[in-house]
A and B are shown apart, each in its own frame.
Chain A
Amino acid sequence: MEPLDQEVEESELELPSDPMQLMMGPSHPAMHGTVRIAVELSGEVVVKADVQIGYLHRGFEKSCERGNWTQVFPYVDRCNYSSPMLNNVGYALAVEKLCGLTVPDRCQYYRVILGELARMADHLVCNAAMAMELGAFTPFLWWTRAREMIYDLFEEETGARVTHSFGRIGGMAHPPTDNFKQHTLAILDKVVASSDEGISLLETNRIFMDRTMGVSAISQADAIALGWTGPCLRSTGVPYDIRKAHPYLVYDRFEFDVPVGHEGDNYDRLMVRAEEVHQSARIIRQALEQMPDEGPINVDDPRIVLPPKGEVYDTIEATIRHFKIIMEGLKVPAGEAYGYTEAANGELGFYVVSDGSGTPYRVRIRPPSFALVGGLSKLITGQMIADIIPTFGSMNMIGGECDH
Chain B
Amino acid sequence: MGEMIKPTTSQVIQTGQSGFATTKFNELLAWARKYSLFQYPFVTACCAMEFMSTASPRYDLARFGSEAPRFTPRQADVLWVVGTVSQRQAPILKRVFEQMTEPKWVIAFGTCASSGGFYDNYATLAGIDKVVPVDIYIPGCPPRPEAVLDGLMLLQDKIQRGDKTPGVVKPRHDPAENLVQLRRKTG
Contact = CB atoms under 8 A, between A and B. Distances in A.
* A/B: CB atoms within 8 Å of each other: yes
B7 to A, nearest CB: 32
A266 B87 CA distance: 33
B57 interface: yes
B50 A59 contact: no
B89 A34 contact: yes
Contact residues of A: prevailing secondary structure: loop
Given A63-B119, A141-B57, A26 B49 contact: no
Contact of B121 (A32, A63, A145, A148): A63
A57 B48 contact: no
A125 interface: yes
A43 to B, nearest CB: 24
Interface stretch (A74-82, A96-104, A204-212, A215-223): A74-82
Contacts of B123: 57-59, 62
B52 A144 contact: yes
Given A56-B45, A145-B58, A151 B89 contact: no
Contacts of B42: 27
A54 interface: yes
B69 interface: yes
Interface residues of A, number: 33
Nearest to A148: B58
Nearest to B57: A141
A141 B121 contact: no
Nearest to B121: A59
Interface string A138-152: 001100110110010
Contact of B50 (A56, A125, A145, A162): A162
B44 A55 contact: yes
B119 A59 contact: yes
A26 B53 contact: no
B122 to A, nearest CB: 6
A104 B118 CA distance: 32
A148 B53 contact: yes
A145 B57 contact: yes
Contacts of B86: 54-58, 403
A145 B58 CA distance: 7
A334 B170 CA distance: 44
Contact of B92 (A26, A63, A147): A26
B69 A29 contact: yes
A266 B186 CA distance: 58
A34 B96 CA distance: 14
Interface string B130-147: 000000000001101000
B119 A55 contact: no
Contacts of A147: 53
A216 B58 CA distance: 34
B43 interface: yes
Interface of B: 41-46, 48-50, 52-53, 56-58, 69, 71, 83-84, 86, 88-89, 92-93, 96, 118-124, 141-142, 144
15 contacts: A27-B92, A54-B86, A54-B88, A55-B44, A56-B86, A59-B121, A62-B121, A63-B121, A78-B45, A78-B46, A141-B57, A162-B46, A162-B142, A163-B46, A163-B142
